[in-house]
Structure 1
Amino acid sequence: MNQNMKNGLRLFVATVVATSFAACGGGGGGGGGGGGQVVYYPYETVYGDICHTQEASPGCTFLESNGQRIKVTDDPHYGRSGHGSDDLWYVEFDSSGKAAVYNDLGQFQYYAGVHEFAGYVGGNTIGVGTTGLHWEDVTNGTYWLGKNGVLYSANSGEGNYGQAINDEASSEASDTNFAALNSDANKQLVKMASQKLMNEYGFKQDKAVAVASALNSWAVAAADRGATSEKDMDKTFKAVFGVQFSDALAAVKDLSLGDKAAMQDLTNRSASALGLKPHQAQKFMKGMYKKALANWGYDDASFSW
């Protein structure tokens, strides 16, 4: 029974989406059943987080489609006047890291320190991420300066010629690898699901919207990628139930053995996080998990704690 319960819990997200959205006449993501237009963004951070921008910019220097660094040809100002990289400004660093910045006509504009460029790591180093794997010493190097401060290698003898080298403010980008939802139809989906949560389980509006939004985001991610990751599931579980998935799994295992203490504690913590009373939180948990339990041959009415 423990393995069945574990497998059932790992299917909970699909169950929650179905009960929260399908029952409202909607559908998650870009599919049918009332699902609206989904806006997909092409760029992501080195960590795989989707950036909510349609343009290459610091912090958004990898392609969502393949995870590869963007190239100078991806910059919105590349070739805007038909001259390719000649339409971009460029930067020349000297042996001390001091930079001379020139406009697209080759006219000197100003001097700058290496620390003034996006992605500054320290010394004469600019890079991406938290380790030296994607860092670059820019001493005596030349770089195209793209829109919003993206630097692209103009060093023809280097293996990363033409690629973006810097990244900035990754923490400000979306921390989920989800396509963004902002169409009117998707907002209506969240509104309907929120109303269901308020009507059936006693949620306050702000908490209901937060839970419904998390479910809708998961649905879009699953539709976009055709699968859901452990990270997606853990994050959605936390947003939906207010507790860690690992804690819930341990509590359900204890419950299956007749020990209710952990599940009672989990329910109280979930109630506190969601702004519900314990009996409302229990009803919500059982309601969201009902179909997954049924899929494994269990009746939610047979479980109590």
Structure 2
Amino acid sequence: MKNVMRVVLASVVATSFAACGGGGGGGGGGSAPVIYYPYETVYGDVCQTQEASPGCTFLKSTGERIKVTDDPDYNRGGYGSDDLWYVKFDSSGKAAVYNDLGVFQYYANVSEFAGYVGGTTIGVGTTGFYWEDITNGTYWLGKNGVLYNANSGESNYGQAINDKTSSSASDTNFAALNSDANKELVKMASDRLMKEYGFKQDKAVAVASALNSWAVAAAERGTTSEKDMDKTFKAVFGVQFSDALAAAKDLSFGDNSGMQDLTNRSAAALGLKPHQAQKFMKGMYKKALANWGYDESSFNW
């Protein structure tokens, strides 16, 4: 029973995005279309953006660091990297920023650029493997703040050198749903959450975004980890996956106290009333339970 309930609960996340209307077919079933994202972080997390930006400086297809030719503004006027602004650092880390015509714009300190590590160092991740001392170096400044090495003769010439800080890059940023297609998917799902379960807009968007993020990551990686499950389950239901598993197990043996407590905690986290949270849980479990031969109406607490 424990293993059956674990699989049933796990499959909730796999079917939930379509269940709340993100699949484009409303309540008519079907799976959500997969939006391909070309960039990832140094940690292998898929970035929900169609453009290279600080924090998204590795190609998902190869795992390699992006080059200046991948920048959205590269060659926008037909002059290759000469269409980009550039930065010249001095020996102290002070930067002079120039526009694409070579006209001086302003001074900046190295600490003002994304990926600042300390001293005169900019880099990616938590170790020095991808860190770079920018002293007396020249770098192209991309559209979204990515710096690309413009020092000919260096091994990483043309490559992006900076990223967000490790703490922010390691977590998927749900606010970065930049593509129009993705925004529409999340809007459809959040609208249905508000209409059917009484969610407030901010909570509905957060839940829909979490489900969408999981769907994209699972499609990109071809699998989902226990860490992915825990993170998504907590974002969607507002409670720990392990707590839900224990409550579901007790419910299967006729003890509904754990599920009642879980529902109350979920309601508080999601900004719902307990009866709304129960309806939401049943609605999200419905398809997964049906796939395993269960009728959600037989589960009451």
**Which residue pairs with 1:4 in the alignment?**
4
Conservation of the 8 A alpha-carbon contact between 1:29 and 1:223 = no
Find 1:120's aligned residue among 116, 123, 143: 116
- 2:150 pairs, out of 148, 154, 168, with 154
Report the counterpart of residue 188 of structure 2 in structure 1: 189
Match of 1:267 among 263, 268, 286: 263
Sort the Cα spacing of 1:60 and 1:267 in 2 relative to 1 into closer, same or farther, 3 A: same
| 1:50 aligned residue | 47
Cα distance 1:89–1:196, how it changes in 2: closer, same or farther (>3 A)? closer
CA contact (8 A) 1:29 1:221 kept: no
The C-alpha deviation readout for 1:43-83, integer Å capped at 9, x for no partner, is: 4443425254x443434423344443211122234334544
8 Å contact kept, 1:126–1:166: yes
Residues 1-305 of structure 1: pairs in structure 2 closer than 5 A = 1-21=1-21, 24-25=27-28, 27-30=30-33, 40-47=36-43, 48-52=45-49, 54-101=50-97, 104=100, 112-168=108-164, 171=168, 175-176=173-174, 182-183=180-181, 186=185, 189-190=188-189, 193-194=192-193, 197-198=196-197, 203-204=198-199, 206=201, 207=203, 211-212=207-208, 214-215=210-211, 218-219=214-215, 222=218, 227-305=223-301
Q: Tell me the SS of whatever aligns to 1:165.
A: coil
C-alpha contact (below 8 Å) 2:20/2:189 kept by paired residues? no
How far off is 1:23 after superposition? 6.4
1:119–1:168: 8 Å Cα contact kept in structure 2? yes
What TM-score comes out, normalization by structure 1 length? 0.74
In 1, Cα distance between equivalents of 2:108 and 2:246: 56
Measure the CA separation in 2 of the matches of 1:87 and 1:197: 50
1:161-183 deviation per Cα after TM superposition (whole angstroms, max 9, x unaligned): 21111124784996259975634
Question: Partners in 2 of 1:123 and 1:221 — Cα distance?
Answer: 35
Distance (whole Å) between structure 2 residues aligned to residue 129 and residue 274 of structure 1? 33
* Cα distance change of structure 1 residues 114 and 264 upon mapping to structure 2, 3 Å threshold: same
Note if contact 2:149-2:161 (Cα within 8 Å) is conserved in structure 1. yes
Could you tell me which residue of structure 2 aligns to residue 35 of structure 1? none
- Cα distance change of structure 1 residues 189 and 106 upon mapping to structure 2, 3 Å threshold: closer
For residues 155 and 81 of structure 1, what CA distance do their matches in structure 2 show?
22
The answer for unaligned runs of 5 or more in structure 1 is 32-37
| In 2: Cα distance, 1:124 partner to 1:78 partner | 26
Q: Is the 8 A contact 1:153 1:164 kept in 2?
A: yes
| Secondary structure class of the residue paired with 2:236 | helix
2:151 is paired with a residue whose SS is: coil
Q: Is 22-31 or 160-169 further displaced after alignment?
A: 22-31
3-state SS of 2:180 partner = coil
CA–CA distance in 1 between the matches of 2:5 and 2:185? 32
Instruction: Show CA shifts across 1:247-287 (max 9, x none).
Output: 21122233345544322211111122334443443343234
Do the aligned partners of residues 11 and 141 (structure 1) sit closer, same or farther apart at CA in structure 2, a change above 3 Å counting?
Answer: same
Taking a change above 3 Å as real, the CA distance of residues 80 and 239 of structure 1, as seen in their structure-2 partners, is closer
Letter in 2 for 1:93: F
Q: How far 1:124 sits from its partner (Å)?
A: 0.8
Paired residues, number: 293
**Other structure's SS at 2:140 match:** strand
C-alpha spacing 1:162/1:285, structure 2 compared with 1 (3 Å) = same
Equivalent pairs: percent with the same residue? 70
- For the residue of structure 2 that corresponds to 1:126, the secondary structure is strand
1:34 is matched with: none
Larger Rg, first or second structure (1 or 2): 1
Q: CA deviation at 1:11?
A: 0.9
Larger deviation, residues 101-110 vs 144-153: 101-110
- The 1:82–1:18 alpha-carbon spacing in structure 2 relative to 1, beyond 3 Å, is closer
Q: Which runs of 5+ in 2 are unaligned?
A: none
Identify if the C-alpha distance between structure 1 residues 58 and 25 changes in structure 2 by more than 3 Å, giving closer, same or farther.
Answer: same
Contact 2:174 2:209 in 1 (8 A): no
